[in-house]
Amino acid sequence: ATMPPLLSAIANAGRHGVLAKSAVVMERLAQVDAVALDKTGTLTEGTPRVTALRPLPGSGLDEDALLALAAAAEHPSEHPLARAITAAARERGLVLADATAFSSAPGTGVTATVKGQEIRVGAPARLLPDDDPTELEKEGHTVVVVLRDGDPVGYLGLADRPRPGAAATVAALTAHTGRPPVLLTGDNAPAARRLADEVGITEVRAGLLPQDKAAAVREWESAGRKVLLVGDGVNDAPALAAAHTGVAMGRAGSDLALETADAVVVRDELATLPAVLHLARRARRLVI
């Protein structure tokens, strides 16, 4: 009780599972008047599941062969979509070939050599030059395309659930800042729209690369807003750095996101954020 107000605010935030890196962060959280949320792993649970397998005619692949190829290339990746794809292959008892020369591009996908062939798995909008939205995309699936030596051989559909209480958190953040949070995502627009509708978000920016997320944040900042950005991925790091205040999801968050953020939601409980914003404001009133 004898603690200075800012320190007790940090301690209180800690009790809510939000770890602020310094007292200055509480002051910045108190100023926040706009919120931008990443989709996968932040607003959603981040444990998507494979919901559709569509080998292309002429690829010579059936569903299992397509999944095995994608999973082999994704095996080294920590991305939530990669984990979903390898888990689906495991569930079907598929044996994965070794992958070499693995690389990943945030917001785009992965590349690896599998059985002497170059396999790429990722966003159709990034990997296919003139991509028309597939039926899977129009239905609101997250969709990745699989390329073998440059040629598309099939599509995978994936779906993720909103975190429990996501709609209530969005409502509380709306009440706190006076405007609904905005959804920023690298995923396709229909999938983003579908999730936004489920949780009460109106403004969506989809198909974004990491630098696009940062540009959107800078756009709002230069319009005078003090943006709280919440994210979890490597792809969120530039936006976390650009925002007035960056908060990372702690449990599934990438190391880069954790390093870049000003505060960390330790147990991934997005629902604690509105309370922490409130107590940051209250502490400021006590200090001033």
Catalytic residues: 38
Whose CB is nearest to ligand ADP?
186
Smallest distance, ligand ADP to C-beta of residue 33, A: 23
Smallest distance, Mg ion to C-beta of residue 158, A: 13
Of 13 and 68, the one with the shorter C-beta distance to ligand ADP is 68
Smallest distance, ligand ADP to C-beta of residue 142, A: 5
Q: Is 272 in the site for ligand ADP (CB under 6 A)?
A: no
Which residues of 21-163 form beta strands (DSSP E)? 34-38, 49-55, 99-105, 109-114, 117-122, 142-148, 151-159
Please identify which residue in 9, 19, 37, 41 interacts with Mg ion, judged by CB under 5 A. 41
Asked whether 66 and 167 are in contact (CB, 8 A), the reply is no
Considering only residues 225 to 254 of the shown chain, the ones binding Mg ion according to CB under 5 A are 232-233
Q: Residue 26 is inside which H or E element, if any?
A: helix 23-31
Among ligand ADP, Mg ion, none, residue 262 binds (CB under 5-8 Å by kind): none
CA distance 236 to 268: 16
Instruction: Compute CA 26 distance to the chain's CA centroid, rounded to the nearest angstrom.
Output: 24
Burial status of residue 51 (CB atoms within 10 A of its CB: 0-12, 13-18, 19 or more): middle
**Judging by DSSP bridges, how do beta strands 99-105 and 109-114 pair with one another?**
antiparallel
Of 185 and 272, the one with the shorter C-beta distance to Mg ion is 185
Among ligand ADP, Mg ion, none, residue 187 binds (CB under 5-8 Å by kind): ligand ADP
Please identify which residue in 19, 30, 38, 121 interacts with Mg ion, judged by CB under 5 A. 38
Considering only residues 191 to 210 of the shown chain, the ones binding ligand ADP according to CB under 6 A are none
Counting residues that bind ligand ADP (by CB under 6 A) gives 24
Q: Which residues pair with 229 in a beta bridge?
A: 36, 246
Q: Is 270 in the site for ligand ADP (CB under 6 A)?
A: no
Considering only residues 60 to 99 of the shown chain, the ones binding ligand ADP according to CB under 6 A are 74, 77, 79, 81-82
For residue 13, which phi and psi values (nearest 5 degrees)? -60, -40
CA distance 271 to 165: 7
Residue 52 one-letter amino acid: A
For residue 136, which phi and psi values (nearest 5 degrees)? -60, -40
Q: Ramachandran region of residue 178, left (φ > 0), alpha (ψ -120 to 50) or beta?
A: left
Of 181-189, 196-204, 215-223, 258-266, the segment contacting ligand ADP by CB under 6 A is: 181-189
Of 9 and 183, the one with the shorter C-beta distance to Mg ion is 183
Residues 6+ apart with CB under 8 A from 218: 242
Considering only residues 107 to 146 of the shown chain, the ones binding ligand ADP according to CB under 6 A are 107-110, 121-123, 142, 144
Binding region for Mg ion (CB under 5 A): 38, 40-41, 232-233
Binding region for ligand ADP (CB under 6 A): 38-41, 74, 77, 79, 81-82, 104, 107-110, 121-123, 142, 144, 185-187, 233, 235
